[in-house]
Structure 1
């Protein structure tokens, strides 16, 4: 068995996230299927090799929520990438042990559809439930190791919501 690489030597997984806001200024969050604790998050996911981040964000949104791009208008892109580190007990257990956390490009998008356009019962479901929530509640809904990330995203996009 090989030596486990030092956590600091591991890369960040390239990802995207999307803050989807409805016409009432509330943000979409889904309750994760794979967490024992009640953890909610905005749609996010990895960028495939050669994929543009914007395309990845729309793809991830569809894969996780069933929301088609025709029901979404991208309003803004984060000025810079946002990073988070996994807690020590998760490093080596997620993403094949290749990453120490994620580097995310975030998008703010307006939801132009109706709630009936949301379908979390997708081919590979990630959420057990979903809701619209006030933007200020986002940091309290997410797992603790992502709270700073959510505060930073909220701060960056708040004026545009």
Structure 2
């Protein structure tokens, strides 16, 4: 039996503080619609939009700044399925296929999650040792895969 799942094209940013590379701190934000769900900024890619344009637009929309330096791009699209209760909210997609970027906030960047359509109500910078216990459980596998790639390549 063949399974025909649909995946929403998406871009995601592993945002490091402006202290990188001296100090490695990851930005996590808590979703407004799912309390306790902490994640990296991410969002859909609009039709006709380049991946990089989507990255900069999504950062502006979600954290109020796109004042970043792109450090690296994960070479592959990574797919994951939504949990059932999330899938019902995001019908007709079964999950997302994401392109990940490792980015550093510039010294001039100012995070403002009080955007016109807020997606986050809190944000924090966390160290690697705390990252995976804070992230929403269904995204941990993907985040570990992405972070391990950036570590292996010498960025983290």
Structure-1-length-normalised TM-score: 0.86
Q: CA deviation at 1:9?
A: 2.2
1:3-152 to 2 correspondences below 5 Å: 8-22=3-17, 23=19, 24-36=23-35, 38-68=36-66, 71-91=67-87, 93-95=88-90, 97-114=91-108, 117-152=110-145
1:47 and 1:145 map into 2 onto residues whose CA distance is: 21
Distance 1:106 1:121, change over 3 A: same
What SS does the corresponding residue of 2:84 show, helix, strand or coil?
coil
Unmatched tracts of structure 2, length 5 or more: none
1:30 and 1:114 map into 2 onto residues whose CA distance is: 20
What SS does the corresponding residue of 2:147 show, helix, strand or coil?
helix
Q: CA deviation at 1:67?
A: 1.2
Describe the superposition over 1:47-69 as per-residue Cα deviations: whole angstroms up to 9, x where unpaired.
Answer: 0001111110111011000113x
Q: CA deviation at 1:90?
A: 3.2
Structure-2-length-normalised TM-score: 0.88
Aligned residues: 149
Unmatched tracts of structure 1, length 5 or more: 1-7
